[in-house]
Amino acid sequence: MTAPPPAIVLVRPQLAENIGKAARAMLNFGLTDLRLVSPRDGWPNPAAGPAASGADIVLERARLFDSVADAVADCAHVYATTVRKRGVTKPVVRPDEAAIAVRAETGGSAFLFGPERSGLETDDVAVARTILTVPINPEFGSLNLAQAVILVAYEWSKGETLKQPPAVEIDPPAPQIELDGMIDQLDGMLQATGYFYPPDRTPVTRRTLRTLLTKPGWNSQEVRTLRGVLSTLARPRPR
Amino acid sequence: MTAPPPAIVLVRPQLAENIGKAARAMLNFGLTDLRLVSPRDGWPNPAAGPAASGADIVLERARLFDSVADAVADCAHVYATTVRKRGVTKPVVRPDEAAIAVRAETGGSAFLFGPERSGLETDDVAVARTILTVPINPEFGSLNLAQAVILVAYEWSKGETLKQPPAVEIDPPAPQIELDGMIDQLDGMLQATGYFYPPDRTPVTRRTLRTLLTKPGWNSQEVRTLRGVLSTLARPRPR
């Protein structure tokens, strides 16, 4: 049994636009369980849709509650997101730690986010067992609601295997024999132009060139392209 | 010696409001080096300030450039942030991996972010050695500019508290301006010999060459050596 994706609980959010932005942030990282506690301007609210930029399904499924306690009634693990520490002695975790905990434990989890201007009240925090704090520039703490939501959602999504970036097919380095062919070609051209001088420095110079041409790990196609470049340069210049 | 904090490069951003939001996201996590390439609505722009919510210092210090190449001329490591895969075969990393790499290597780093609507062009991506992709819900990829910036800045900030051991003494890749100088030199030589034919293939050919010459991450000494090789090859052959 794996833990369900966590719920995002917006407590008394002020602007419907920010509810939309939070929905967008959630869906970007695979979260869909949005819960609203007493939004200031009511719910549903037409200002939320445009800000959600297509995350309509999150808004449509959003559930409305009268209290924080009701909103998290079915959750086993409640995290209160705050910037400043309150006078409450509870464990404080970062988003990455919370994401790991949410997956490791059984039972549903919820993250509480307070109103834009003031943040969560002490009574809201009291509902939570754990404080979630985003480590932020101490001289400029100005994380907005959607940004706080996206960091939590982003960290949670790291555990989803399907969210891995697609593996890119990178061609392996060309076999040595192909690289050697290119180096020999260049070497011949350089000999013809008197590059290797004085003669007693030649072994060191050759080694230097080999080292820097080996470093790239060019694939076969790239080596062919470079050999074409060299062949072109070896031709007599057009007048 | 530790690597400097990375630069955030907004390439042709459309809305000044989003520049402000990106500045706010940066400062939240301790980044201040903002670079703007040809913002659509000009710069400075009064619409940026309110959106920055107090991150004025980032906006005031922001530097304006005409091209991506100019913006990253002093950077040794350039990451191109894209959602979709392009036809370019470069290493792809996640923000957490990029954050670790930026700290582990020597030399400055830059993260490129494209215009809001369209993202980075292929030519922008060609400047970078590495692709940065945020692993996102494959059925709803809708990350906005400031959100992409905040995830990169957030991941970078995680390493700030941990004092990394001093980096190994490996010469960093040459600044982009040195690499560009070498590419220009080769390009001029190839033009003189009629390499770029037919003409309508020239942009693709140029991009291919740039990609494979960017891949090695040659340091300044290596670039100088290669420029010496090119200069030698450009000389008339002894008879």
A127 vs B97, more confident: B97
Rg (CA), chain B: 19
pLDDT at B162 over 80: no
B1 vs B122, more confident: B122
Is the Cβ pair B233, A238 closer than 8 Å?
no
Cα A56 from chain centroid (whole Å): 22
pLDDT at B113 over 80: yes
pLDDT at A69 over 50: yes
From residue B19, how far is each of A193, B37, B59, B83, B179 by CA, in Å? 53, 11, 8, 19, 29
pLDDT for A87: 60
What residue in A sits closest to B212 (Cα-Cα)?
A222
For A105-164, the three-class secondary structure string (H helix, E strand, C coil) is CCCCEEEEECCCCCCCCHHHHHHCCEEECCCCCCCCCCCCHHHHHHHHHHHHHCCCHHHC
pLDDT for B167: 39
Chain B contact set for A192 (CB, 8 A): 237-238
Cβ atoms of A160 and A99 within 8 Å: the answer is no
Q: Is A18 left (phi over 0), alpha (psi -120 to 50) or beta?
A: alpha
Please report how the helices B176-192 and B202-214 are oriented relative to each other, as an axis angle in degrees rounded to 10: 140
For an interface test with B, the pick among A83, A134, A154 (most B C-beta atoms closer than 10 Å) comes out as A154
pLDDT at A88 over 70: no
pLDDT for A94: 93
Q: Is the pTM of this model over 0.95?
A: no
pLDDT at B164 over 80: no
Give B1 to chain A, closest Cα distance, Å: 23
- How is residue B219 annotated by DSSP? B
3-class DSSP state for residue B132?
strand
Is the Cβ pair B209, A232 closer than 8 Å?
no
Q: Which of A137, A171, A193 is the closest to B237 by Cβ?
A: A193
pLDDT for A37: 98
Give the pLDDT band of residue B105 (cuts 50, 70, 90).
confident
Nearest to A5 by CA among A36, A35, A34, A31: A31
pLDDT for A139: 83
Give the count of beta carbons closer than 10 Å to the beta carbon of residue A102.
Answer: 23
Q: What is d(CA B211, CA B213) in angstroms, rounded to the nearest whole number? A: 5
From residue A53, how far is each of A208, B175, B197, B228 by CA, in Å? 54, 39, 45, 53
B41 vs A211, more confident: B41
Percent of all residues in chain B with a pLDDT value above 90, rounded to a whole number: 67
Q: Which two tokens stand for residue A69?
A: 């306690």
pLDDT at B156 over 70: yes
pLDDT for A48: 97
pLDDT for A172: 77
pLDDT at A162 over 50: no
Which domains are delineated in chain A? 7-157 (3.40.1280.10), 176-234 (no CATH)
From residue B81, how far is each of A30, A65, A135, A180, A226 by CA, in Å? 20, 39, 24, 35, 28
pLDDT for B168: 40
Q: Which of B55, B92, B226 is the closest to A140 by Cβ?
A: B55
**Lowest mean pLDDT segment, chosen from A4-13, A48-57, A169-178, B141-150:** A169-178
Q: Which of A28, A229, A235 is the closest to B143 by Cβ?
A: A28
pLDDT at B16 over 90: yes
Region B153-182: mean pLDDT is: 76
For an interface test with B, the pick among A212, A219, A221 (most B C-beta atoms closer than 10 Å) comes out as A212
pLDDT at A24 over 70: yes
A89 vs B97, more confident: B97
Give the pLDDT band of residue B153 (cuts 50, 70, 90).
very high
CA angle A108/A118/B57 to nearest 5° reads 110
Q: Which of residues 132-171 of B touch A (CB under 8 A)?
A: 133-138, 140-144, 146-147, 150-151, 154, 157-158, 161
From residue A163, how far is each of A156, A160, A203 by CA, in Å? 11, 6, 50
**Lowest mean pLDDT segment, chosen from A154-163, B38-47, B198-207:** A154-163
Which stretch, A61-70, A84-93, A170-179, A197-206, has highest mean pLDDT?
A61-70
pLDDT for A137: 86
Q: Is B218 at the interface with chain A, CB within 8 A? A: yes
Supply φ then ψ for residue A89, to 5 degrees: -95, 100
**Lowest mean pLDDT segment, chosen from A2-6, A35-39, B144-148, B224-228:** A2-6
For B211, the enclosing helix (H) or strand (E) is: helix B202-214
pLDDT at A40 over 90: yes
- How is residue A25 annotated by DSSP? H
pLDDT at A59 over 80: yes
Give A26 to chain B, closest Cα distance, Å: 10
**Mean pLDDT for chain A overall:** 88
By 3-state DSSP, what share of chain B in percent is helix, strand and coil, each rounded to 5? 45, 10, 45
pLDDT at A15 over 90: yes
Q: Do the bridges between strand B34-37 and strand A77-81 make them parallel or antiparallel, or are there none, so unpaired?
A: unpaired
pLDDT for B170: 63
Q: What is d(CA B38, CA B40) in angstroms, rounded to the nearest whole number? A: 6
Give the pLDDT band of residue B171 (cuts 50, 70, 90).
confident
Q: What is d(CA A37, CA A64) in angstroms, rounded to the nearest whole number? A: 6
pLDDT for B161: 64
Give the pLDDT band of residue B148 (cuts 50, 70, 90).
very high
Chain A to chain B, count of Cβ pairs less than 8 Å apart?
151
**Mean pLDDT for chain B overall:** 89
Give the count of beta carbons closer than 10 Å to the beta carbon of residue A171.
Answer: 12
CA angle B80/B84/B87 to nearest 5° reads 80
Region A4-14: mean pLDDT is: 96
From residue A28, how far is each of A50, A163, A198, B83, B233 by CA, in Å? 16, 10, 62, 12, 52
Q: Which of B142, B216, B222 is the closest to A28 by Cβ?
A: B142
Burial B102-123, CB ≥16 within 10 A → b, else e: bbebbbbbbbbbbbbeebbeee
Supply φ then ψ for residue A64, to 5 degrees: -105, 135
